[in-house]
Amino acid sequence: MSSVLYQKVVKSFGALNVLRSLDLAVPDHKFLALLGPSGCGKTTALRILAGLDMPTAGKVFIGERDVTRLQPRDRDIAMVFQSYALYPQMTVAENIGYPLWIRGTPEAGRKAKIGEVAAVLEIGHLLDRRPRQLSGGQRQRVALARAIVRDPAAFLMDEPLSNLDARLRLTMRGEIKRLCQRLSATTIYVTHDQVEALTMADFVAVMHGGELQQMAPPIEIYDRPANRFVATFVGNPPMNILPAALCEQGVIVAGKVVPLDAARLAACRAASVAEIGLRPEDCSAAGVATPDALPGEIYVVEPMGNETLVNVRLEAGNVQVRAGRDFRGVVGESIGVAFDPANACFFNSDGLTAVHRVNNNGRVT
């Protein structure tokens, strides 16, 4: 296993800049999730690491080795593709054994290794089948088996779960996490699904518009988003953003003065804060007469079983509130949205986070 390093990597197709100077370091034995909306450059970044695409500028290192100009086969990596990319005319055993066979591993050693990984992934009974005789989940397991059959410097995974149905995705998510922990493998995992990124990874790198927005452990990404994009992209439902104007005691949000303590007010002033961000779980539904609550009316009510999502229309825009499962409000009803200003993030006018929340429900920030 090895660390992975991107150094000022640029990729453009003609006038289109897919990656603008990506700097990213993945520590040895760590699981990194590259997270972002489609077109953010995350798959391109992975393909450059694999050697399937060449960067326009910059360097890529695997361990101490500069692999920027090396062929994929000389990089000592294994990759799992979104479409599984199994070899259709080979049996499952031949598929799994291919990386060994191509490197001239003798048959006995190959067979033993195939049997071993097949057992880990519980596909031992499928070894004589061909890919098209398998279900999606089984194909996924074969693709994983083919990747782990060798002991490469790094595992690359390109949205490996996105072709599976929702239920199977949940199971495989846990299994891939277990597998990677067990192998203690350096893994780069591309996904557009924040739940996958947060649940599986040691580090999450959020990308947008060909640029790295933030790289941090999942909890920190959630609690201390570096900017407005990360704040609204990670979290479901996303963070509520409302315009906030500075005043004497604090900020004015939706026509109400939200008082801030002296330290935070000073920080907000210094950064000329323009927006406030509130996680839906930090907001609560309150009576319309509650003194500090923002007044609004119920726009949509979505019971989820374990909780109820309430969309409230305020003067300054709509906000999502996570209410209890026993919430009984009716659409059109007047309601107040209460929150503790200590839980709020503040963004300045160019979207950077100026002030993080201080109260982390007992977590250290």
Partner 1 sequence: MQTGMQARKYRLQGAGLDLALPYLMLAPGLTIVLGVLVYPLWDGLRASTRAYRYGSPVSHVGFRNYVQLWSDAQFLNSLWVTVKFVALSVSIEAVLGFALALFCLHEFRGIRLLRTVLIIPMVITPVVVAILFRLIYASDAGMLTALSEAMGGGGVQILGNPLNAFIGLVVLDVWEWTPLMFLILLAGLQSLPHEPFEAARVDGAGSWRVFADLTFPMMRPVLAVAIVLRTIDAFGTFDQVFVLTRGGPGEATRLISIYGYDTAFKFQQTGYAAALFVTIGLVVLALAFSAIRLLRRIDAS
**Interface pick for partner 1 out of 36, 51, 225, 277 (rule CB under 8 A):** 51
* Region near partner 1 per CB under 8 A, out of 65-73, 175-183, 234-242, 246-254: 65-73
| Closest separation in Å from C-beta 133 to partner 1 | 11
- Cβ 109 vs Cβ 100: under 8 Å: yes
Interaction of residue 365 with partner 1, rule CB under 8 A: no
Q: Which residues 118-177 are close enough to bind partner 1 by CB under 8 A?
A: 146, 156
Residue 133, SS3? helix
- Given 3-state DSSP classes, what are the helix, strand and coil percentages for the chain, each rounded to the nearest 5? 30, 35, 35
CB neighbourhood size of 11 (10 A): 22
Among 23, 57, 66, 73, binds partner 1 (CB under 8 A): 73
Q: How far apart are CB 22 and partner 1 at their closest, in Å? A: 20
Residues 6+ apart with CB under 8 A from 76: 62, 152, 153, 154
Structure-token pair, residue 22: 């990506």
For residue 296, give both structure tokens.
Answer: 């609004």
Q: Of residues 81, 181, 238, 358, which one binds partner 1 by CB under 8 A?
A: 81
What 3-state class would DSSP assign to 14? coil
Minimum distance of partner 1 from residue 109's CB (angstroms):
16
Longest Cα–Cα distance of the chain, Å, equals 78
Q: Does 14 bind partner 1 (CB under 8 A)?
A: no
Cα distances (Å, whole numbers) of residue 318 to 238, 253, 331: 12, 12, 14
Query: Which residue in 59, 65, 98, 199 binds partner 1 (CB under 8 A)?
Result: 98
Sequence letter at residue 291: P
Which one of 76-84, 248-256, 311-319, 353-361 is the stretch in contact with partner 1 (CB under 8 A)?
76-84
Question: Closest separation between CB of residue 163 and partner 1, Å?
Answer: 11
Which residues are at the interface with partner 1 (CB under 8 A)? 50-52, 71-73, 75, 77-79, 81-90, 98-99, 102-103, 146, 156
